[in-house]
Amino acid sequence: MEEEKIRKFVKKRYGEMAKEKVSCSPSCECEPTLTKLGKRIGYSDEDLRNVPEASNMGLGCGNPVALATLKEGDTVLDLGSGGGIDVFLAAKRVGNKGKVIGVDMTEEMIEKAKSTARKFGYTNVEFRLGEIESLPVEDNSIDAIISNCVINLSIDKEKVFREAHRVLKPTGHMMISDLVTEGELPEEIKKSFDAWAGCIAGALEKNEYLDTIRKAGFKKVKVVSESTYDIDVSEKLRGKITSVKVEARKANR
């Protein structure tokens, strides 16, 4: 399977999601389905009340903002910002003196997030079109990086982490939520376009994932929390997909 075909398929799928009125998971009833999904992923009621409704698309596998050490005045980067939910949550944490930059490869997602930011008067956020393997961000300019179930969509994860390392300040850190596997995935899953877009086919085995972060130059790489992930997971994979929250630092301090 060609890497470019995977990338185009994933980009097209998420572009379509951005245009949908809601992004309901087929396994859930549209309750407020997105509110229900948000809680299952790790967002609190307060989190969901404090962001524009349009930014919660029911995507992700955790809540990296809740675990990240963000301070007032920080510059934060969200890798694969989608509808912007984590950008808007982080914006409240860093305040008017801070800034949150969201990068996404999908034009439709960027436009959706920009529209939401304008509508609700966010002045400390910015959304940039770009790929997380080649970030449109200056060297040594970011205090903290967050990401929510996006890096597993990349075919070249080491390149993503090297880019993250490049843009962080020497004192910077990263907090990411992502999916990993317990053991190897079946070959038919690895070759499935739908499984790639569903954040499953690209998932690495947990130790390999952590080693990839270390190879990119990060220090103090550790799993902060983990739990079995079962949202829209097929029966044959049930219990084999884990949602991890991983922290890492640019320097060993």
Determine contact, residues 216/162, Cβ cutoff 8 Å.
yes
Q: pLDDT confidence of 23, banded at 50, 70, 90? A: very low
CA dihedral 236, 233, 78, 119 (to 10 degrees): 160
List phi, psi (to 5°) of 213.
-65, -40
* E-assigned strand segments in the chain: 75-79, 99-104, 125-129, 142-148, 168-181, 219-228, 241-249
**Rounded-to-integer distance, Cα 161 and Cα 180, Å:** 16
Which pLDDT does position 29 carry in this prediction? 43
pLDDT per residue as tens digits for the range 230-246: 776 777 777 788 999 99
Which pLDDT does position 24 carry in this prediction? 41
Q: Which helix (H) or strand (E) holds 85?
A: helix 85-94
Which pLDDT does position 106 carry in this prediction? 93
**Rounded-to-integer distance, Cα 175 and Cα 66, Å:** 10
Range from 40-49, 94-103, 132-141, 220-229 carrying the lowest mean pLDDT: 40-49
Which pLDDT does position 34 carry in this prediction? 66
CATH label of the domain that carries residue 30: 3.40.50.150
**Which of 43, 181, 197, 24 minimizes the C-alpha distance to 105?**
197
Rounded mean pLDDT, 74-87: 96
State how many domains the chain has.
Answer: 1
- The better pLDDT of the pair 187, 205 is held by 205
**Would the pLDDT of 111 be above 70?**
yes
Range from 21-25, 42-46, 89-93, 242-246 carrying the lowest mean pLDDT: 21-25
Which pLDDT does position 19 carry in this prediction? 76
**Rounded-to-integer distance, Cα 41 and Cα 177, Å:** 10
Beta-carbon count within 10 A of 183 CB:
7
Q: pLDDT confidence of 60, banded at 50, 70, 90? A: confident
Which pLDDT does position 58 carry in this prediction? 72
**Would the pLDDT of 13 be above 60?**
yes
Determine contact, residues 198/232, Cβ cutoff 8 Å.
yes
Tokens representing 68 are 């990240």
- The better pLDDT of the pair 32, 92 is held by 92
Q: Which domain holds residue 22?
A: 3-249
Percentage of residues of the chain with pLDDT beyond 90? 56
